[in-house]
């Protein structure tokens, strides 16, 4: 083979790689080239570092200073429950009054709480002191929901780019977990103070990047109502009318296409549309708490339960094998695999129905994690994590896309916050139950809990099958222009 032929083949190979890179990342790059988007998207991820770091820092630090997994699990459970209560409330306040108005005082509370809890743990304060302080660590602004709200507002009416933006948010989230988990395990082993100080620095830097970007901040309900010359209640009612009109228009179009496919006459088509409209009018008045949202929230509750039980069980398993320092890297493998899954998933404009993608990804994650009880070595768990992680982020992306069908745009932050809140409540239950079993039966007892919770989660998700499938057949509510 001549040198020119080799060079040409190398050029074609390089060109193919470049083309593949453009197909995968071109859509993401286009989104980040929109003015100011990169700043708030990256800032929200940096400010979210408490999510991967605080729970692991508390678990490792409490186990080190107090030698008690039950206490560590109970503390993280309390923090998760408080986070579950605070997140929807903060999301609702953000939608009502604005992102900056709610986030700044919330950040101040979190920083004070982080300093206090770190000092208490390192000085072996009485356990009741820890339980009094840890709830204030739930004072975390809903950065992820606020970032997604900015994307959906900016790209309103563009379904394909909106879905890609939500996938991009999932990619950034996984980057956070890839970095946060190994950092937390490494820094917390050295010093809980060091780990919490780094987390606090991330909160301040990320908040400055996000909150000082004003041009992309979506208007609050207060601002929108003021522009329309209405009260907030009047504005929400007005928006509900707009959403109902969009649904009616979409329903009429679907009926028209179906009847045309049957070969119906114009009179038959109009009669079918009238019948469908009459049936739609007899349905009860909808609210944010429709059956679809309830189904998703219950599924996210069970998802959080077995995943939090998995985390504390892996820490116990690694401790038994004298490999505790590697736990963060095991979690990072899961997040890295999830990151790859998010990149590929978001690059494609899927034609497969959303509900099918949701259930497939959920089943892969649940069944894969349920197999951990049979693992004999930490590296086996890491390998399983690498294999199933590609479906983790797409599961969350699908959940966020379901929110676009379930809640009106002015309450999108609240809807996503409720989904995260249910996940946090599930996490608190899972870690508390697993902590009890680990103290009594070791890490194997924890993994038995994980398997039971994972299978239960899958069953619960299929109980809501009809509601979730039906919700994806409704029009996307963020397409409403008020």
Query: Would the pLDDT of 197 be above 50?
Result: yes
Q: Where does the pLDDT of residue 11 fall: very low under 50, low under 70, confident under 90, or very high at 90 and above?
A: low
Better-predicted residue by pLDDT, 324 or 136: 136
The lowest-confidence range among 45-59, 122-136, 232-246 is: 232-246
CB atoms within 10 A of CB 5: 9
In tens, the pLDDT along 45-62 reads 888 888 777 777 787 788
How much is the average pLDDT of 364-393?
84
Q: Which two tokens stand for residue 201?
A: 């620095």
Q: Which two tokens stand for residue 314?
A: 């892996």
In tens, the pLDDT along 308-320 reads 788 778 888 888 8
How much is the average pLDDT of 104-123?
90
Distance CA 251, CA 221 (A): 28
Q: Which residues of 118-151 are buried (b: 16+ CB within 10 A; e: fewer)?
A: bebbeeebeeebbeebbbbbbbbbbbbbbbbbbb
- Beta-carbon contacts of 255 under 8 Å, excluding residues fewer than 6 positions away, are 269, 272, 273, 276
Say if CB 338 and CB 174 are below 8 A apart.
yes
How much is the average pLDDT of 441-469?
80
Better-predicted residue by pLDDT, 436 or 246: 436
Distance CA 232, CA 224 (A): 8
Say if CB 137 and CB 87 are below 8 A apart.
no
Query: Would the pLDDT of 77 be above 70?
Result: yes
The domains found in the chain, sorted by start residue, are: 23-218+287-479 (1.20.1250.20), 228-282 (no CATH)
Better-predicted residue by pLDDT, 260 or 140: 140
Query: In this predicted structure, what is the pLDDT of residue 105?
Result: 92
Distance CA 259, CA 235 (A): 36
Q: Where does the pLDDT of residue 477 fall: very low under 50, low under 70, confident under 90, or very high at 90 and above?
A: very low
Better-predicted residue by pLDDT, 339 or 477: 339
Say if CB 476 and CB 405 are below 8 A apart.
yes
Query: Would the pLDDT of 108 be above 90?
Result: yes
How much is the average pLDDT of 290-304?
76
How much is the average pLDDT of 393-411?
74
In tens, the pLDDT along 435-452 reads 778 878 887 888 888 888
Q: Where does the pLDDT of residue 5 fall: very low under 50, low under 70, confident under 90, or very high at 90 and above?
A: low
Q: Which two tokens stand for residue 367?
A: 């069944």
Query: Would the pLDDT of 476 be above 50?
Result: no
Q: Which two tokens stand for residue 431?
A: 């870690």
Better-predicted residue by pLDDT, 471 or 252: 252
Distance CA 184, CA 480 (A): 42
How much is the average pLDDT of 126-135?
90
Please tell me the chain's helix, strand, coil percentages from 3-state DSSP, rounded to the nearest 5.
85, 0, 15
In tens, the pLDDT along 210-233 reads 998 888 888 877 877 787 777 777
DSSP 55-68: HHHHHHHHHHHH--
């Amino acid at each position: 083979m001549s040198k020119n032929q080799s060079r040409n083949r190398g050029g074609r190979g390089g060109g193919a790689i470049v083309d593949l890179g453009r197909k995968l990342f071109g859509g993401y790059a286009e989104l980040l080239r929109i003015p100011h988007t990169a700043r708030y998207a990256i800032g929200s991820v940096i400010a979210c570092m408490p999510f991967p770091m605080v729970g692991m820092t508390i678990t490792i630090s409490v186990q080190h200073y107090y030698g008690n997994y039950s206490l560590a699990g109970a503390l993280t459970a309390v923090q998760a429950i408080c986070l579950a209560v605070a997140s929807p409330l903060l999301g609702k306040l953000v939608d009502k009054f604005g992102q900056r108005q709610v986030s700044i005082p919330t950040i101040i509370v979190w920083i004070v709480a982080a300093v206090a809890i770190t000092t208490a743990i390192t000085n072996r304060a009485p356990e009741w002191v820890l339980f009094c302080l840890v709830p204030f660590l739930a004072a975390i602004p809903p950065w992820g929901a606020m970032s997604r709200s900015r994307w959906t507002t900016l790209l309103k009416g563009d379904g394909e780019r909106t879905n890609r933006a939500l996938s991009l948010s999932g990619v950034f989230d996984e980057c956070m977990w890839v970095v946060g988990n190994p950092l937390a395990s490494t820094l917390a082993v050295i010093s809980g103070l060091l780990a919490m100080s780094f987390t606090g620095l991330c909160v301040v830097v990320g908040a400055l990047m996000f909150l000082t970007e004003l041009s992309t901040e979506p208007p609050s309900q207060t601002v929108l109502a003021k522009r329309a010359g209405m009260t907030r209640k009047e504005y929400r009612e007005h928006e509900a009318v707009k959403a109902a009109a969009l649904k009616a228009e979409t329903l009429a179009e679907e009926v028209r296409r179906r009847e045309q496919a049957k070969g119906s006459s114009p009179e038959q088509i109009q009669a079918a549309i009238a019948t469908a409209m009459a049936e739609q009018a007899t349905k009860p008045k909808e609210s944010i708490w429709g059956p679809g949202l309830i189904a998703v929230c219950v599924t996210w509750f069970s998802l959080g339960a077995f995943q939090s039980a998995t985390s504390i069980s892996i820490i116990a398993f690694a401790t038994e094998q004298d490999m505790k320092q590697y736990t963060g890297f095991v979690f990072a493998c899961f997040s890295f695999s999830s990151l790859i899954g998010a990149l590929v998933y978001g690059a494609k404009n899927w034609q497969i129905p959303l509900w099918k993608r949701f259930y497939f990804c959920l089943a892969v994650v649940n069944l894969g994690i349920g197999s951990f009880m049979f693992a004999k070595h930490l590296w086996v768990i890491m390998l399983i994590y690498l294999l199933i992680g590609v479906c983790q982020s797409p599961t969350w992306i699908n959940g966020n896309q379901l929110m676009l069908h379930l809640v009106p745009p002015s309450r999108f932050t609240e809807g996503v916050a409720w989904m995260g809140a249910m996940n946090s409540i599930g996490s608190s239950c899972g870690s508390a139950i697993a902590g009890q079993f680990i103290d009594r039966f070791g890490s194997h007892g924890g993994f038995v809990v994980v398997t039971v919770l994972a299978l239960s989660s899958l069953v619960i998700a299929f109980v809501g099958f009809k509601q979730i499938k039906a919700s994806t057949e409704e029009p996307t509510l963020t397409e409403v222009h008020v």
